[in-house]
Structure 1
């Protein structure tokens, strides 16, 4: 059989070109061998010498995801269900106390480490806890982003099943960076208006173009999931997150949501819209976090309720049903959904529960999964399984409505509700304990099936964005893309 692939050496990895097929990136000195079939190259993640379905880039992403999910241990799936706490790269500066890490047990400033070195904690959660979803907050610069990403992906590639890291970010393109969930963005990314500013242009096509540019910059930084857009209807002007919404007008929010998601998710000239230019969107916050009681926010115990005044609950669903879940392009629907911290007070007339949305079987299973037919990833907001603070004003865990449960019991309740993933959790222990509790309650076969279902959803978003083929970044390309003059000028205009 004629050889249909060639390779070139890059900085820290090899890039293999398949004629008319997928390019493969593989770290230098990797344990993963290359197999050849029909003249093409494939990664032998399992080391069996034979190509299994999840290693075969010719197969549909859904088939590959289901195959790999069936092979994973419960420990591996528990790792997939974790979404890391905010990462500073490097872990230094005034935010390090809250979000930091260590390098060989030392603070960055004392360690002699390079800015792109992995922290002790990152190494541990990738290898021990098998975390594959990493939330990036601060990046020192583009070079740091590229080198750090390639180190992280090399570690993931050489661990377990070779599942790559799906890195994500809260919105990075806003001209202001003082919001607590954004931290400080150091890389020279192009700057744009925030959500309500984008809507004020009344141009969905401009928002779609922003999505395309944002996706290009994200991919050049190693980011493949956007924890955005924020599509809550802004019906409460006292709410602190008002400015990041698309505003109070339902039809405008629907149009901007659709344009944003299609811009970020679509790879041009792809049959199904997905590919190596795509960035998964995680729309938030289901079922609409705008009407926080008296404008008090759900990050704090004093703001745990959403009240939906005027009998308008259904109106808050429309940005999801008519926008995020009704894309006109090939990707069809936003790939992930994040419920808000809040208790949607009095909405659950089936079970009569007033609990945080991610703990609500009615909100996630009956409404989102059942009535609305959504089968993508459902990821909790950050820290909902952790204990709340000593006072209502303390920024701590957000276990609204289930304060009396243990951490493992909260994980199980969210799983029972239909959640796939836990934001802000690096530790697999509580998820594994939830699995044990679930086995006692439902039987091991049922719990295995439940975990595997979530694993397939989570893996699908990695396969569709090409991470299993090439998660590595080319320094020259990234530096040319991030914050380039063309993108920056368009953002300014």
Structure 2
């Protein structure tokens, strides 16, 4: 059962009676005793900043718990009946199990409780009511484990009508319908795009989603690219303006909904802008051996034009959140663009593109860097299979790929449910650099990841009122019809 405690001039605290947590009282306020220590440690104190709380909690976590934060799940449908990954309920298929659609699958329980995973990518949902119940079950489970870190559920774009593509699989039904990004770009209106972001963010939060794996701001120059329609088109200046408006709409909370620096617990959704850095795969036969779209090339010598939507848009917002919460590099090898090490490896693996260019030098980006999905897994036998894309590092083991990504500056591994390769990578780092160095390296990522959870209010209340969810989505759809 979900219950709530209201603070006068403070946040409402939501909790599950099944999680076993208790409450602390200080200065007339209530705080959730998430790790059941009986002490008001800084990470539990909602009066402190998200950064202060994140640093305190990161310092307390075991390496296994930090490694769990660095995981980002494979695609999860609710109920778990779709997609390329097998899911079971008490050892049976969903159809044979008599399980309710909002129950957690065996695999979900495993990666949440055993692997400490807290970032879940959701695709299709049976209904908003089912999504709300599933979210509450997830949050009740993790609230009673360890330090009580909530789940940060997320989605690829879901406001279009076409769900035929894996990166748009949540589309259609129960929420307002909008054009895909290329259609929004055809309005030439940042105001319209920002308004879309504001509406979409409310609907995401109603479904228990606090991170959007969007916007996709690759500059589209080749209409043969199968992700062309997910972009804002070919104009870097238009893409920059629309990217800025999109993220401002998704991330910004105002008035009573604001917690800190434009972030809030009801309206704000973390935006993960993608893809750093890519061009829509020009087809060069000599470069396609071993993987479809393995290389991105820049025949017009306009590499810097692809930076603008990030550096002038996503990293220079007009509203108070200032910059996109996260960045996703693409699978591709940005061919011959590494000006320091001369490496031709996938963008997430490239230390120059991540550490030197994105995080250092001019741009000083300090948000989360999350790989695209399954880049640490092995390649399939044929390029049309949904499987690993370890481009440029095919000869490394899975653990060695994780270690290379850590050393390149990556914070999170997309499409990885299992903790073991990260722990192996950690031990590789200890052997090479010592335990103090690797502990600091892991904590650096943990602070970024936790900050995105704190500033969206999940530590205080990750739960949904199922009736309110249905009412809100009905209002949103009615608004669109008007």
Q: Same fold (TM over 0.5)?
A: yes
Q: Provide the secondary structure at the position in 2 that maps to 1:26.
A: strand
Q: Give distance in 1, aligned partners of 2:450 and 2:404.
A: 23
1:68-93 deviations in Å (ceiling 9; x for gaps): 0000000000000000000011122x
Question: In structure 2, what is the equivalent of residue 214 of structure 1?
Answer: 200
Contact 2:221–2:280 under 8 Å retained in 1: yes
**Structure 1 position 77 matched with structure 2 position 66:** yes
Q: CA deviation at 1:181?
A: 2.1
Q: Which of 419, 429, 432 pairs up with 1:438? A: 429
**d(CA) in 1 for partners of 2:141 and 2:207?**
18
- Number of residues paired by the alignment? 475
Deviation of 1:290 after TM superposition, in Å, equals 2.8
Within-5 A mapping of 1:60-459: 60-92=49-81, 95=82, 98-185=84-171, 187-269=173-255, 270=258, 271-276=260-265, 277-287=267-277, 289-294=278-283, 301-371=291-361, 372-459=363-450
Q: Which residue of 2 aligns with 1:4?
A: none
Separation in structure 2 between the aligned mates of residue 438 and residue 84 of structure 1, nearest angstrom? 24
CA–CA separation in structure 2 for the residues paired with 1:40 and 1:186: 42
* Alignment partners' CA distance in 1, 2:86 and 2:169: 12
Shift of 1:213: 0.5
User: What's 2:22 paired with?
Assistant: 33
Give the drift of 1:56.
0.1
The answer to whether 1:477 aligns with 2:468 is: yes
C-alpha offsets along residues 44-102 of structure 1, whole Å, 9 cap, x if unaligned? 1122211000000000000000000000000000000000000011122xx35x13410
SS in 2 for 1:318: helix
Contact 1:84 1:131 (C-alpha < 8 Å) held by counterparts? yes
Q: Is the 8 A contact 1:156 1:164 kept in 2?
A: yes
Distance 1:398 1:44 in 2: 42
Q: Distance in 2 between matches of 1:295 and 1:475?
A: 51
Contact 2:155–2:170 (CA<8 Å) still a contact in 1?
no
Q: Quote how far apart the aligned CAs of 1:29 are.
A: 3.1
Q: Deviations over 1:166-212 (max 9, x none)?
A: 00000000122211222254651111000010010111111111001
Question: Could you tell me how far apart the structure 1 residues matched to 2:86 and 2:111 are?
Answer: 14
Moved over 4 A (4+): 184-187, 295-298
Point out the more displaced range, 176-185 or 364-373. 176-185
Shift in Å at residue 295 of structure 1?
Answer: 8.8
TM-aligned CA deviation for residue 489 of structure 1: 5.1
For 1:218 and 1:157, the matched residues in 2 are separated by 21
Write the deviation string for residues 407-461 of structure 1: whole angstroms up to 9, x where unpaired.
Answer: 0000000000000000000000000000011111111110000000000000000
Find the aligned partners of 2:39 and 2:102 in 1 and give their Cα distance.
35
Q: 2: CA distance between counterparts of 1:286 and 1:200?
A: 23
> Any idea what SS the aligned residue of 2:11 has?
coil
User: Matched residues in 1 for 2:88 and 2:74: separation?
Assistant: 15
Contact preservation (8 Å) 1:291, 1:309 = no
Residue by residue, what CA displacement relative to the aligned partner does 1:273-316 show, whole Å, maximum 9, x if unpaired? 001110000000002x2331229999x81210000221100000
Deviation at 1:123, TM superposition (A): 0.5
Aligned to 1:16: 5
| Alpha-carbon separation, structure 2, partners of 1:162 and 1:209 | 34
CA distance in 1, matches of 2:385, 2:291: 8
Query: Are 1:388 and 1:398, in contact at CA under 8 Å, matched by a contact in 2?
Result: yes
SS in 2 for 1:261: helix
Q: Secondary structure at the match of 1:294?
A: coil
**Contact preservation (8 Å) 2:162, 2:168:** no
SS at match of 2:283: helix
Q: How far apart are 1:237 and its partner, in Å?
A: 1.4
Unaligned runs of 5+ in 1: 1-11
Which ranges of structure 2 fall in alignment gaps of 5 or more residues?
none
2:31 aligns with 42
> CA–CA distance in 2 between the matches of 1:237 and 1:258?
24
C-alpha distance in 2, partners of 1:392/1:373? 36
SS of structure 2 residue aligned to 1:18: coil
